[in-house]
Amino acid sequence: MFNYIKADLYRIFHKRSNQFYWLILASLFLIFVTFSSANANFADNKSELTEMYFSLAVMSLALFGSLIISPQFYYAVYLDELNSKGFVRLFSSGLCKSEYIVAKIFSSLVYMIVVFAFLALVYVGGFGILALLNNGAPFFTINQVGLLFSLVAYLGLFTIAFSSLTNLIALKWQSGNIPLFLFFIISNGFIANLIRWLNQLPMIRNFDVSPYLLSTNTGTLQDALMNGTFYGQQGQLGNQPPSAQEALRTVDSIGFQPFVIIGMYIVVTTVISLFILKHSDIKDNE
């Protein structure tokens, strides 16, 4: 299994399209923040530079992380290999199907850690450049760093949970095109909204399934992280910067239930994926 993990990580990190994707994303972010601050004057209050830069990162992760970061993780780790030729050779070489499931989770974690570390270096480097252009500026507060870490952890949990759920289809079909589309549909709550609508039917309306849906619980975490991080939030002044402290306080108040339900989804879908894989004929995509 460890040999497969090493080979899998080698494949992922040496894939040119993966490298280009993150380089382009990092470049676009730096270009955007540079132009956003070009006409601003931070001479009187340099702390505004920190707040502006922090705001852009938080809002980008909160609004677009599930659309441009999580799907790439899922595709690079799981679906790219399914689309490649010779998927059957993985198991003909002696790799157990249970080892494959565990190895993919490990590969996903390592890939996410490395990518987020790269994005963090880009983020800090970009702030350093802006600080130098503005004759220095205060650095980030502990609460701001804590909120950014919380957002990163949320996206990691979000990716693993919805990857495990979508894999129920991907491993059955052994194709990466439709599952990627389904990942977008499922992770953005379209299926959950359909289930909620069906839940209004007379025969099942007495049992509310909404609190037990994966999208509901990931949405609870996302709402908590976004609380206090946007300008003009209800109860805030229109020009008040995001409050990392308030956002972290809200995260602490939601309790363990969303984490427990998300964890149960990961465990159950992983077990079902193993069952599907064990009872499916592996297709050679050549």
Whether 283 maps to a domain, the answer reads no
Q: How far apart are CA 17 and CA 225, in angstroms?
A: 31
Per-residue pLDDT of the chain in tens (286 residues, 90 and over written 9): 788 888 889 989 999 999 999 999 999 988 887 777 666 666 666 677 777 788 788 888 888 888 899 999 999 998 887 766 556 667 666 778 788 888 888 999 999 999 999 999 999 888 888 777 777 777 788 888 888 898 999 999 999 999 999 988 887 776 667 888 888 888 888 888 888 887 777 766 677 788 888 998 898 888 878 765 554 344 444 445 557 777 788 778 888 889 999 999 999 999 998 888 877 766 554 4
Establish if 284 belongs to a structural domain.
Answer: no
Task: Give the model confidence (pLDDT) of 108-152 as tens digits.
Answer: 999 999 999 999 999 988 888 877 777 777 778 888 888 889 899
Q: Is 72 a domain residue? A: yes
Q: Which domain range does residue 131 map to?
A: 2-278
Asked if the structure places residue 126 within a domain, the reply is yes
Instruction: Say if 286 falls within a structural domain.
Output: no
Would 285 be classed as within a structural domain?
Answer: no
Give, as one character, the DSSP assignment of residue 76: I
Residue 92, domain member (yes or no): yes
CA atoms within 13 A on the CB side of 3: 5
**Chain centroid offset of residue 237 CA:** 30
Residue ranges of alpha helices (H) inside the chain are 2-13, 16-36, 47-64, 70-74, 80-83, 89-92, 97-133, 142-173, 177-187, 190-198, 214-226, 244-253, 257-278
The pTM score is 0.83
Q: How many structural domains is the chain composed of?
A: 1
Does residue 109 sit within a domain? yes
